[in-house]
Amino acid sequence: MIALDAGAAQDLTITYYDVQGENLQELRASLNARGPVGKDGVRHHGHVDWHVGWNYDYAPRGVGCRIGKLRVDVKATMVLPRWTGVDTAPASLQQEWARYSQALRVHEDGHAAHADQAAEEIQRRFTAVGGGMRCAQFGEELNRIGQAVLDEYAARDKQYDDTTEHGATQGARL
């Protein structure tokens, strides 16, 4: 995990699952049978699971409390298909797979971007919390704000899938 500074990248791990097929129908069947299961309980061709966490310290300042050090961490795992028979397939099928794979990656990168955006929003909202609150309440308020941001970006992830039909409108359709 890494601290999120301006312009810093997330800790992204990409894993692959193997698919087989000698034509589009067989590839589709393999993708549908082997793809990762999303949070919705449905099998998809790709998936990103992300987590944003935070650590901070705070200290009394005047009549209230202010944030001191802040660390926001982003960890994401992307799961994508890998076609094991691509080298022996006809050129037209290889090209279709390359187009599809690129479109699927673009779609999944959109999910990964939500993690970065959530981390940046948490950082922004935490640093905007005023100092008029007592320290006993300050930490509770920061954690409430952080969870609200995570909920907001989880909803954005769902809306993104609904809007793009899980990437189909972005070309991730085989």
Average pLDDT over residues 33-46: 94
Q: Phi and psi for 27 in degrees, rounded to 5?
A: -65, -45
CB-neighbour burial class of residue 150 (10 A; exposed 0-12, middle 13-18, buried 19+): buried
Q: Rounding to the nearest 10 degrees, give the CA dihedral for residues 49, 107, 15, 19.
A: 120
| Per-residue model confidence (pLDDT) at position 61 | 79
Q: For residues 130 and 138, what is the distance between their CA atoms, to the nearest angstrom?
A: 9
Q: For residues 148 and 141, what is the distance between their CA atoms, to the nearest angstrom?
A: 11
pLDDT band at residue 6, thresholds of 50, 70 and 90? very low
Helix (H, G, I), strand (E, B) or coil at 129: coil
| Per-residue model confidence (pLDDT) at position 150 | 98
109-163 tens-digit pLDDT:
999 999 999 999 999 999 898 777 888 789 899 999 999 999 999 999 999 999 9
Q: Phi and psi for 128 in degrees, rounded to 5?
A: -90, -10
Residue bearing the bigger pLDDT, 119 or 59: 119
Give the rounded percent of residues in the chain with a pLDDT score beyond 90: 76
**Which pTM was predicted?**
0.89
> DSSP state, 87?
G
**Does position 14 have pLDDT exceeding 60, yes or no?**
yes
**Does position 4 have pLDDT exceeding 60, yes or no?**
no
> DSSP state, 62?
T
pLDDT band at residue 58, thresholds of 50, 70 and 90? confident
Sign of CA dihedral 83, 87, 90, 93: positive
Q: For residues 128 and 27, what is the distance between their CA atoms, to the nearest angstrom?
A: 50
Average pLDDT over residues 80-86: 96
